[in-house]
Structure 1
Amino acid sequence: MTQQSTAIQPQKNILIVEDDPNNREFLSLVISQETIYTPILAANADEALQVVQTITPDLFILDYFLPPGINGFELYQQLHQQAGLKNVPTIFLSASTEKEDIKQSNVLFLEKPFELDELLKTIEKVVKMSDTSSSPH
């Protein structure tokens, strides 16, 4: 018996943490239309930490500057300390590339403003890197 190509694939999610509502909606629209992922939106770190209590994202897209409270890098550190989230790949978004903490971590970075193709290529690159690192050796 052959396996049907209509087999249900597990839902893949991207948690987008972006405080600017226009950027958040743009990212959501692009991801839902151009990728296999379902966007999950959070406006700040507190919302993101609530989301991961019930959903394990396959990818994080984090704005570096998040009001109020902790910044995107501090959120990244908190998320990756939680069981089941340690290996979730991350893309940072920021208008400034002078972030030493980001440069020293194992994440990808997109400088705002970025082109749509650049975002999609970065997502694809992260997914491929993640698939390679999670495959058995």
Structure 2
Amino acid sequence: MSDKPTSGAKEAVAVKSLLVVEDDLDIGEFIVHAIQQETRYQAFLVVDAFKALNTIRQHKPDMFLLDYQLPGMDGLELYNLLHTTEGLENTPVLFMSANFSEKELDKLRLPYIEKPFELEDLLREIEQIIGA
């Protein structure tokens, strides 16, 4: 008996993942569901920056989708912490918010999408950032 896989076996393909940090549970669940249904990516939801920091201990995502206005620590502070974490220094981010400082994000050259946004626009931005 051979230990080789059968010719019909498919090789496992690594699926890219996104960590969605959104304090509005309804919006966050909608985004995660849409990403998983409409793209080839896996998405995980946490509702605040501190849960995001705990989550990255077990799972390092390929991209962050961060709400700018989060309780306790805003999205920019979280971004700065994440990008000083070993292994996450070059992980891309997309900010989303109805109220944020465009000037600050533009100065840092960070991509963002304004709420409310069209789902197709969000998915297109995600694909442009990590689809390569």
Fold-level match, TM-score > 0.5?
Answer: yes
Match in the other structure for 2:31: 27
Of 62, 66, 76, which aligns to 1:62? 66
**Residues 43-54 of structure 1 mapped to structure 2, 5 A cutoff:** 43-54=47-58
RMSD of the TM alignment (CA)?
Answer: 1.7
Find the aligned partners of 2:90 and 2:38 in 1 and give their Cα distance: 24
- Where has structure 1 moved over 3 Å in runs of 4 or more? none
Equivalents in 2 of 1:101, 1:8: separation in Å?
A: 41
Q: 2:92 maps to which residue? A: 89
Say if 2:129 is the partner of 1:126: yes
SS of residue paired to 2:31: helix
Following superposition, the deviation at residue 101 of structure 1 comes to 2.3
Normalising by structure 2, what TM-score?
A: 0.88
The answer as to 2:18 corresponding to 1:14 is yes
Query: Structure 1 vs Structure 2: percent identity of aligned residues?
Result: 39
Counterparts of 2:68 and 2:120 in 1: how far apart (Å)? 21
Distance 1:102 1:8, change over 3 A: same
Mark the runs of 5 or more structure 2 residues left unpaired by the alignment.
1-6
Q: Is the 8 A contact 2:23 2:70 kept in 1?
A: yes
Matched residues in 1 for 2:50 and 2:99: separation? Answer: 23
TM-score, length-scaled by structure 1: 0.85
TM-aligned CA deviation for residue 106 of structure 1: 3.3
2:11 maps to a residue whose letter is A
Aligned to 1:134: none
Q: CA deviation at 1:118?
A: 0.2
Paired residue total: 126
Q: Partner amino acid for 1:20? A: D
Of 39-48 and 93-102, more deviation after overlay is shown by 93-102
